Amino acid sequence: MKIPPVKGTRDFYPPEMAVRNWMIDGWKKVSVRNGFEEYDGPIFEYLKMFQIKSGDEIVEQLFSLQDRGGRDLAIRPEITPTLARMVNQQINSLPRPIKWFSVPRLCRAERPQKGRLREFFQWNIDIIGVDSSVADAELIFTTIDYLRMVGLTPKDIQIRISSRKLLAAVLLSVGISEDDLDVLYALLDKKTKLPAETFEQMLLEKVGEQAKADEISSFMAVASIDEIGQAVTMDSDIERAVVELETVFASLAVMGVAEYCVFDPSIVRGLAYYTGIVFEVHGATGELRAIAGGGRYDNLLRDFGGPAISATGMGMGDCVLELLLREKGLLDSQLGKRRLDYFVTFADKLFGGTMYEVAAELRSRGYSANFSYKLGGLSKQLKEASAQNAAKCIIIGQEFAESNQLAIKDMTTGEQELVDYGAFLSGLEPRDT
């Protein structure tokens, strides 16, 4: 009986695995060089853990299960709750600031579509315990640091930055009540996805008065931080939020990534989760969904039963990123093919035993080496070496019997030289084994 792969999952054959490893290696490298330390948690948690922050809709999109002891568990759809739990558990002994990263495998039971599967990998970086917006800027910088490293330019991608604090202050000054903020966030978040007229209409329905709707609309249409003063009536809360945004942009300019960044008041982010700076990374064409998103969520630890310590974080999934990199031709160009250091061959069956010995010597010195399992002629063996993309071939033939010499053939140039076996081994650069 043939069993198909499960809906929304991927099989990673060697070529796909190479892509995945390359991507994850890049994430880890950039995290480490930006001063983050890696952590991870279990792949499942108590179901309750994921119900704290979120409503029933999210719970419906969880893969949940019951263990034999009747415990309700769920496969993690995100790692942030685990992070909160882990940090809370040791909050008194952890040196601050806490700069941690992780590349968890996550599962969400959503309907699969372009750039969204049911199982995926997500790079997460978080800074906990730093109130200053420098932490937000650093998070954004680290995100760009990776995207820039893999070859994406400001022409390809844009970091759109806004502030929940600013938006809240504006909405309150317009006369929206505190209780209605969350509902409005959800609507404003859709602004770019809906036709302009539909959006205006829905906004008017939500706020009731045309004057309020107009003021919100004019704020949402602001193209730069400087224009905020013209669109809305400033008050001290708005002023503070604006200053914070300006600080973030100034920091990013100093770090040399200003070209990637743009202020965009239509960046709101879905749920009532964020409390300060929010941002999303989008492809310039805007055809794909967001590549990454993040922001400040100062209530996170408290919501999970810990102290009120501030936090800011970013998540980047592998699916959309891969689509974008493929589109830009940045994947094949950077991805190294499988490369074998040596392929060991014999010109006479007499030397079959020596072939194993030479391969074993190379391997024990940290070099990758293969040989053919078939007892074919040299021609066949070299063909196999080519198929495995071997850098060099070692040919063991009559010269070995006569004077202990190996023929080393460079598979790129086709040139070949005779070397003494012992000299060859002692001449190898030491490698990590």
Partner RNA sequence: GUGAAAGUAGCUCAGUCGGUUAGAGCACCAGAUUGUGGAUCUGGGGGUCGCGGGUUCGAAUCCCGUCUUUCACCCCA
Residues in the site for RNA, rule: CB under 7 A? 4, 7-9, 50, 54, 57-58, 61-62, 77-78, 80, 108, 110-114, 116, 186, 189-190, 193, 269-271, 273, 289, 293, 315, 347-348, 374, 376-380, 382-383, 385-387, 395, 397-399, 407, 409, 411-414, 416
For RNA, which is the closer residue by CB, 115 or 129? 115
Of the candidates 382, 381, 380, which has an alpha carbon nearest to the alpha carbon of residue 411?
382
Toward RNA, which CB reaches closer, 236 or 379?
379
List CB contacts of 208: < 8 A, sequence separation 6 or more: none
Q: Which helix (H) or strand (E) is 407 found in, with range?
A: strand 405-410
Give 104 or 129: the residue with its C-beta nearer to RNA.
104
Nearer to RNA, 412 or 426 (CB): 412
CB of 235 to RNA, least distance (A): 28
**CA-atom Rg of the chain in angstroms:** 28
Cα gap 37→350, rounded to integer Å: 54
Cα gap 40→76, rounded to integer Å: 12
- Of residues 78, 53, 73, the one with CA closest to residue 63: 73
The amino acid present at 63, given as its one-letter code, is F
Minimum CB separation of residue 73 from RNA in Å reads 15
Beta bridge partners of 260: none
What residues form DSSP beta bridges with 163? 277
Sign for the pseudo-dihedral over CA of 184, 186, 187, 192? positive
Closest contact distance (angstroms) between CB of 338 and RNA is: 13
Distance CA(211)–CA(216), nearest Å, equals 9
Task: With CA atoms as reference, report the closest residue to 294 among 45, 129, 131, 80.
Answer: 80
Spatial distance between the Cα atoms of 36 and 98, rounded to a whole number of angstroms? 8
Residue whose CB is less far from RNA, 68 or 374: 374
| 333 vs 412 by CB, closer to RNA | 412
Q: Would you say 289 and 270 are in contact if contact means Cβ atoms under 8 Å apart?
A: no
In angstroms, the CA 84 to CA 303 distance is 9
CB atoms within 10 A of CB 85: 17
CB of 40 to RNA, least distance (A): 17
Q: Name the minimum Å distance from CB 345 to RNA.
A: 9
Which residues neighbour 207 within 8 Å (Cβ) at sequence distance 6 or greater?
174, 176, 184, 213, 216
| Residue 241: closest CA among 141, 311, 172 | 172
Q: Nearer Cβ to RNA, position 65 or 250?
A: 65
Instruction: Output 111 or 155, the one with its CB closest to RNA.
Output: 111
Question: SS3 for 133?
Answer: coil
Taking the least distance from each CB to RNA, the nearer of 215 and 280 is 280
Specify whether the CB–CB gap between 26 and 150 falls below 8 A: yes
DSSP letter assigned to residue 307: -
Closest separation between CB of residue 279 and RNA, Å?
11
Q: What is the smallest separation between the CB atom of 274 and RNA, expressed in angstroms?
A: 8
Q: How far is the CB of 142 from RNA (least distance, A)?
A: 17
Min. distance of Cβ 381 from RNA in angstroms? Answer: 8
From the CB of 95, what's the least distance to RNA, in Å? 26
How far is it, in rounded angstroms, from Cα 165 to Cα 245?
A: 10
